[in-house]
Amino acid sequence: MKKHLLLPVVGLIVLVVSVIFYFNQSTNINNSRDEVSSLIFVTPDFYNNKLINENTLGEFYIVNFFASWCKPCLLEHPLLMEMKKKGVKIIGINFRDDEENFKEWINEHGNPFEYILKDDGTIAYEMGLIGVPETFFIVNKIIQKKIQGPLFYEDVESYL
Amino acid sequence: MSKAIYKIIISLLFVHISAVSFANVNELSDYYKTVRCLVCEGQSIQESDTEFAINLKEQIQKKYNSGISIEEINQELIKIYGEEISFNPPKYHILLWGTPLIVLLIIFIFIRNKIRFFNRV
């Protein structure tokens, strides 16, 4: 092979190999869960002790992680109350919280949730939670959207 | 005599149990150092006191105590949180990181050859 061709050929090989590995990496990263954790349907509701039947939730529902110690949760609370009024079913998951503080919080600010589950962190782990508040939009049993941090009207308007 | 043997056996058993639990704690804390805290990037969950890190450590410990291996726990973590959760990248990333070095090496060889060529001229 001519010497002046060596560099471009080696460069091309490196480029091709890099592109192949880049696409291989992309497909491996995108494997986080797309369904909600089954633990949600085997954990009894905090108030009435009943299990949630996913079939009664309808095509669209929301799973919202919150805690009484979480200040940003208060920011989205009025929006959750409004969504409840508009008929959106919200499963509230109380993340690593003191029971008394949690009850007081609900009494003080209102209950926007159809169901409330207490979570010691196991459901959060299975759902890949990073912090509270965090909200999952479930359409036809598939997680369509995930919002980390407080919800804003723009996040939910297309669902109302 | 039998009492002395009995005491020695009990002591050895105690030492063995302590050594095993110490090794387990070490294995877990070594593993925590390889798990990235996603809310305080740059820190591992071993160093972090955020709710995320505390919960992750508890969940990992629960799984480990129930007999699941570190390797299996790691695979599950990557499945849930993606590869960014781990400080230990998969091997194919090393090739990507190594590519600039290969390119630099090629450029170095090319320049050296050119210099030799001009020196001859």
Which CA distances in Å does B26 have to B14, B31, B32, B37, B42?
18, 8, 10, 19, 22
Is residue A11 located within the same domain as residue A51?
A: no
Length of chain A: 160
Which letter does DSSP use for residue B42 in this model? T
Residue bearing tokens 């007999």: B67
Q: How many domains does chain B have?
A: 2
A79-123 pLDDT per residue, tens: 999 999 999 999 999 999 999 999 999 999 999 999 999 999 999
Is residue B61 located within the same domain as residue B113?
A: no
* Cβ atoms of A72 and A133 closer than 8 Å: yes
Q: Which residue of A has its CA nearest to B36?
A: A130
Contacts of B113 (CB under 8 A, 6+ apart): A3
- Which tokens is B3 given? 């009492």
pLDDT, position B47: 94
Domain range enclosing A18: 1-31
Is residue B60 located within the same domain as residue B112?
A: no
Name the residue facing B96 among A21, A121, A129 (closest C-beta).
Answer: A21
3-class secondary structure per residue, chain A: CCHHHHHHHHHHHHHHHHHHHHHHHHHHHCCCCCCCCHHHHCCCCCCCCCCCCHHHCCCEEEEEEECCCCHHHHHHHHHHHHHHHCCCEEEEEEECCCHHHHHHHHHHHCCCCCEEEEECCHHHHHHCCCCCCEEEEEECCEEEEEEECCCCHHHHHHHC
Residue bearing tokens 């926007």: A112
Is residue A128 located within the same domain as residue A89?
A: yes
Which CA distances in Å does B8 have to B17, B19, B22, B85?
14, 16, 21, 46
Count of beta carbons in the 10 Å neighbourhood of residue B24: 13
Pairwise CA distance, residues B75 & B71, whole Å = 6
Pairwise CA distance, residues A147 & A66, whole Å = 13
Contacts with A96 from chain B: Cβ below 8 Å: 51, 55
Is residue A75 located within the same domain as residue A98?
A: yes
- Which tokens is A95 given? 């993340």
Q: How many domains does chain A have?
A: 2
Q: Which residue of A has its CA nearest to B94?
A: A21
A131/B39 CB distance under 8 A = yes
A32/B80 CB distance under 8 A = yes
Is residue B114 located within the same domain as residue B84?
A: no
Say whether the ipTM exceeds 0.95: no
The strand pair at A115-119 and A142-148 is best described as: unpaired
Pairwise CA distance, residues A90 & A64, whole Å = 7
Higher confidence at residue B32 or residue A14? B32
Domain range enclosing B103: 90-121
Is residue B43 located within the same domain as residue B60?
A: yes
Is residue B7 located within the same domain as residue B60?
A: yes
Is residue A44 located within the same domain as residue A24?
A: no
pLDDT, position B3: 75
Residue of B80, B101, B103, B116 best to disrupt the A interface, most CBs of A under 10 A: B80
Q: Which residue of A has its CA nearest to B109?
A: A7
Is residue A72 located within the same domain as residue A98?
A: yes
- Which tokens is A100 given? 């008394």
Residue bearing tokens 């989205």: A76
Is residue A26 located within the same domain as residue A80?
A: no
Is residue A62 located within the same domain as residue A25?
A: no
**Domain containing residue A132: CATH number:** 3.40.30.10
Q: What is the mean pLDDT of chain B?
A: 84
A22-64 pLDDT per residue, tens: 666 544 444 456 888 999 999 999 999 999 998 889 999 999 9
Is residue B84 located within the same domain as residue B100?
A: no
Pairwise CA distance, residues B27 & A150, whole Å = 37
Higher confidence at residue B7 or residue B39? B39
Is residue B14 located within the same domain as residue B44?
A: yes
Judged by a CB distance cut-off of 8 A, whether residue B90 touches chain A is: yes
What is the model's pTM? Answer: 0.72
B52/A131 CB distance under 8 A = yes
A10/B99 CB distance under 8 A = no
* Cβ atoms of A114 and A37 closer than 8 Å: no
**Domain containing residue B25: CATH number:** 1.10.8.640
Judged by a CB distance cut-off of 8 A, whether residue B95 touches chain A is: yes
Is residue A107 located within the same domain as residue A44?
A: yes
Name the residue facing A128 among B81, B90, B110 (closest C-beta).
Answer: B81
Is residue B72 located within the same domain as residue B121?
A: no
Is residue B50 located within the same domain as residue B31?
A: yes
Distance from CA of B54 to the nearest CA of A (A): 10
Is residue A63 located within the same domain as residue A10?
A: no
